[in-house]
């Protein structure tokens, strides 16, 4: 079985490369923005013709949440046009598309976990383009899984965990917001969940939520990062209004994972346990 991974240089792409050796029955082809630019349909179509993938995992995305507010065209090009290109070409080649989306498609006004059926209402350019990318894939149809995730971190790339560790090496105290609530997701756990879907050979196409289990604020997440890494620092909780950002974040974006657990039998680790696993590497 041939698995084409676009966006191989990002967090999820690197996590998939990290776990790929555990799946010898799968043949992985990793394409970065140079070898598999999803915004150029001709190049992607050529790549598909050469590799003939059974599955395409689209880990390519514009994820700079604040920068997207001043670069809407670039976010649109990658998150919407790129997703549409892949969906069209996957349909042409009878390839199953697995597309990664985000909790930012929601406005964060709920106080209970979001299900796949809840109405989307993104508050910024990043969330809007990811929602529009989902819509573009659904409009084309074919065989696809859209997986919404949240607060992704890993030992790869740039992320909140790495930022906290870097800042802790430079400062004696840190302020972190404590009124944005969600769930951290270990990119390696997300990668393994995707490969479980592939190995299942089930055709239960559609939208699924995946994150680690549990609920946390960014302050909680930071505190646990420092605890498991045995770092002593003066960590102070602050409200969102004390740390203004260009793009508005959802105040609450915990995802309900019932569907993916029931359909694919996926067992999901708690976010604290998943974080502890990284600290042991």
Q: What is the 3-state secondary structure (H, E, C) of 141-183?
A: CCCEEEEEECCEECCCCCCHHHHHHHHHHHCCEEEEECCCEEC
Q: Which of 62, 114, 126, 208 is the catalytic position?
A: 126
Q: Which residues of 58-67 are buried (b: 16+ CB within 10 A; e: fewer)?
A: bbbbbbbbee
Closest CA to 98 of 183, 1, 22, 212: 1
59's tokens: 């880990």
C-alpha 33/C-alpha 31 separation (Å) is: 7
Asked if 181 contacts 252 with a C-beta cutoff of 8 angstroms, the reply is yes
SS (H, E, C) 30-89: EECCCCCCCCCHHHHHHHHHHHCCCEEEECCCCCCCCHHHCCHHHHHHHHHHHHHHHHHH
205 classed as catalytic: no
d(CA 4, CA 238): 42
Active site residues: 126
């Amino acid at each position: 079985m041939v698995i084409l991974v676009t966006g191989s240089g990002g967090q999820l792409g690197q996590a998939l490369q990290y776990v790929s050796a555990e799946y010898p029955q799968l043949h992985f082809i990793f394409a970065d923005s140079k070898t598999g630019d999803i915004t150029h349909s001709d190049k992607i179509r050529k790549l598909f013709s050469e590799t003939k993938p059974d599955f395409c995992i689209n880990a390519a995305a514009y994820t700079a949440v604040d920068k997207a507010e001043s670069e809407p065209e670039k976010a649109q090009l990658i998150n919407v046009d790129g997703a549409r290109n892949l969906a069209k070409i996957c349909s042409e080649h009878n390839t199953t598309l697995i597309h990664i989306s985000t909790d930012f498609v929601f406005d964060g006004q709920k106080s209970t976990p979001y299900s796949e059926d809840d109405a989307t209402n993104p508050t910024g350019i990043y969330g809007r383009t990811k929602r529009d990318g989902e819509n573009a894939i659904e409009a084309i149809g074919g065989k696809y899984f859209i997986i919404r995730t949240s607060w992704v971190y890993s030992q790869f790339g740039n992320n909140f965990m790495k930022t906290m560790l870097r800042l802790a090496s430079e400062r004696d105290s840190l302020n972190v917001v404590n009124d944005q609530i969600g769930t951290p997701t270990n990119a390696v756990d997300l990668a393994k969940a995707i490969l479980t879907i592939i190995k299942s050979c089930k055709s239960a196409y559609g939208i699924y939520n995946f994150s680690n289990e549990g609920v946390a604020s960014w302050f909680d997440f930071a505190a646990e990062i420092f605890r498991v890494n045995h770092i002593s620092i003066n960590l102070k909780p602050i409200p969102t209004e004390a740390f203004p950002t260009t793009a508005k974040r959802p105040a609450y974006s915990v995802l309900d994972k019932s569907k993916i657990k029931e359909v694919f039998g996926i067992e999901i680790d708690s976010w604290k346990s998943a974080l502890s696993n990284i600290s042991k590497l």
